[in-house]
Amino acid sequence: MAGSKKKKSFTLVVLLIAMFVMIGACFWLIRYNDKKAAKESEESTEETETIANVDVDSIQTVYFKNESNEMTLVKADDGTWKNSEDELFPVNQTYAQNMVNAFTDLTSTRTITEGVDDLSNFGLDQPAISVTVTDKDGKKTSIALGGEAPVVGGYYAALNEENTVYVVSDSFYNNFIYSLTEMVAVETIPSITAANITHLTVENEDKTGFEILYDENETYDFTGTSHWSMLQPYKTPVAADTDAVSTLLENYSNISFSTCVDYNAKDLSKYGLEEPAALVSLEYFEEYTKDSDTTDSGNTGETTDGNTEDEKDEKKKLYYNLDLLIGSKDSDGNYYAKTKDSNAVHTMSADTVEKLINIDAYSNVDHYVNLVSLDSINELDISFGGETYTLTTEKVEATADDTQSGDDSDKEVTNYYFNGTKVEEDKFKELYQLIISPTTEREIPDEYFESSTEQTPYMTLTYHLTAGDTISISYKPYDDSYYVVNTNGVEYFLTDLRKVNDIADGVADFLEK
């Protein structure tokens, strides 16, 4: 027992001695570093000093090497920068020019002249980055960049293999960190004004297509205000909602690629682009103003937008197409993509692509079932419950009683009739407002079309238009919540059953008044 206690005491003494030795070593190391720092401070200057100032216009080549890339850029006759090993390589001109500009008034924030024999202390024995620029006279200016300078920031640098170490800014260092992929210029997609898009088609390999078309000479809704028709996914064109389409098209106004992964792709199957997952096609126009002085003075014919060439500022429209192919995803979840006429494959963010190709068609449909302007009809027949009720409008020449002034007797007034009996305008319009209020609520499920049972309409509205056309709207039973909307024999949507029943109640109330 006594021996055990002695052993424990001995162990404790040894541990205490070791602890004091470690504490002493720490104090010694701290004092050593303080002295070293003081010595380095004496052997260095912290005044800003220009260490290189090369005329930008005289630089003809830029060689740089970093951890992942080694490249020589050569200035072409047109002033652009080319890859010396591949003239077809689309060099990012912004990055290249920034490299050149970096050698104008290159300054050091700290200069170390002593104790630089061992460059490993500064990470310069094996530089992280090496750069050499050559001017038109063949003079070279080289700089090696090493480790990051503590406290003051920036990076250690050696110029032209001189026995001096400098500290240069982070911004200078960052001009030369680009990989080969990053040095590829990203193809620019034209910036398109959403309001100038006239045709959009989206084809998806695993979804129904989507297509909308704008025609300034045609309207597709019953009010005559929407110039957009939806050609897909429905079997026949339907009117598109102008506001919804405008919001949708904003997604296509500023499309951009993220990075270029292959500037001259030979095997598109690697990117899922041999048989694309989706195809986005846009037709759009750009407007420009052309001074009429540049046109033939004898030509005074109308242009496509109605202006004549005699006008000072003549607006012209040029039409363009953009076809964008969407492929598979990369390891980061981005999509591979390319324009139809380019060999370059780029990436696009998943968020961007999915807004372009995943479109809910129904959200962009004009949801009004029968929003027909009262001014455009002569007669409306409402048939339900085995009876037909007729609303009629008639424009007649105004009388003195109508205008309360004989001076206005040549103006027209509108008379309103229900089943041939003249009625008050306000009551007539109140009923008509009820009739045109239904909107579609959702698409008809596919199961409905698989049934062979033909439903008899609960109600049919027949509009006789002043233009001579006829519109027929029928509401057919679906379930306890919806009616099927049948528009001129076409069925795509359901409407709220209560809205239709309100029409029947409104007619009944009108009969009682």
Q: Give residue-wise pLDDT tens across range 16-32.
A: 566 665 665 555 554 54
Name 501's Cβ contacts closer than 8 Å, sequence gap at least 6: none
Burial (0-12, 13-18, 19+ Cβ within 10 Å), 327: buried
CA distances, 356 to each of 44, 201, 272, 282, 321 (Å): 58, 10, 17, 11, 16
Amino acid at 77: D
Residue 3's Cα: distance from chain center in Å?
A: 82
Digit-coded pLDDT (tens) for 66-91: 999 999 999 999 999 999 999 899 99
In which residue are the tokens 């003075």 written?
297
Range 285-291 average pLDDT: 83
Range 218-232 average pLDDT: 93
To the nearest whole number, what is the mean pLDDT of the chain?
Answer: 87
Per-residue model confidence (pLDDT) at position 132: 98
Distance (Å, rounded) from C-alpha 144 to C-alpha 387?
Answer: 95
First and final C-alpha spacing in the chain: 117
Digit-coded pLDDT (tens) for 427-443: 999 999 999 999 999 99
What tokens does 295 get? 């046109």
Per-residue model confidence (pLDDT) at position 11: 62
Per-residue model confidence (pLDDT) at position 300: 31
Per-residue model confidence (pLDDT) at position 18: 62
Range 384-408 average pLDDT: 77
Per-residue model confidence (pLDDT) at position 302: 33
CA distances, 86 to each of 73, 96, 178 (Å): 10, 15, 17
Higher pLDDT, 370 or 402: 370
Range 132-147 average pLDDT: 96
Q: Check residue 333 and give left, alpha or beta (phi > 0: left; psi -120 to 50: alpha).
A: left
What tokens does 100 get? 């050149």
In which residue are the tokens 């139809």 written?
340
Distance (Å, rounded) from C-alpha 175 to C-alpha 73?
Answer: 14
The residues pairing with 493 across neighbouring beta strands, listed in sequence order, are 443, 485
105 three-class SS: coil
pLDDT band with cut points at 50, 70 and 90 for residue 396: confident
Range 266-290 average pLDDT: 94
The residues pairing with 111 across neighbouring beta strands, listed in sequence order, are 45, 166
Q: How many CB atoms lie within 10 A of CB 359?
A: 21
Range 98-106 average pLDDT: 96
Per-residue model confidence (pLDDT) at position 236: 95
CA pseudo-torsion sign 90, 93, 94, 100: positive
496 three-class SS: strand
The residues pairing with 156 across neighbouring beta strands, listed in sequence order, are 167
Distance (Å, rounded) from C-alpha 357 to C-alpha 347?
Answer: 15
Lowest mean pLDDT among 100-104, 148-152, 311-315: 311-315
Q: Residue 104 above 90 pLDDT? A: yes
What tokens does 166 get? 């400098």
Distance (Å, rounded) from C-alpha 31 to C-alpha 161?
Answer: 33
Distance (Å, rounded) from C-alpha 212 to C-alpha 360?
Answer: 12
pLDDT band with cut points at 50, 70 and 90 for residue 288: confident
Higher pLDDT, 118 or 474: 474
CA distances, 351 to each of 108, 250, 291, 316, 488 (Å): 43, 14, 42, 35, 40
Per-residue model confidence (pLDDT) at position 16: 59
Distance (Å, rounded) from C-alpha 411 to C-alpha 35?
Answer: 105
Per-residue model confidence (pLDDT) at position 299: 36
Distance (Å, rounded) from C-alpha 329 to C-alpha 309?
Answer: 51
- On whether the CB atoms of residues 136 and 58 are closer than 8 A, the answer is yes
In which residue are the tokens 């003051």 written?
152
CA distances, 130 to each of 65, 104, 124, 177 (Å): 5, 17, 10, 10
% of the chain beyond a pLDDT of 70: 84
Q: Residue 51 above 70 pLDDT? A: yes
Domains of the chain by range and CATH? 49-174 (no CATH), 194-294+304-364 (2.60.40), 374-512 (no CATH)
pLDDT band with cut points at 50, 70 and 90 for residue 398: confident
CA distances, 466 to each of 379, 410, 415 (Å): 9, 21, 15
The residues pairing with 108 across neighbouring beta strands, listed in sequence order, are 49
Distance (Å, rounded) from C-alpha 363 to C-alpha 238?
Answer: 13
Phi, psi dihedral angles at 134 (to 5 degrees): -125, 130
Record the pTM. 0.77
Burial (0-12, 13-18, 19+ Cβ within 10 Å), 91: buried
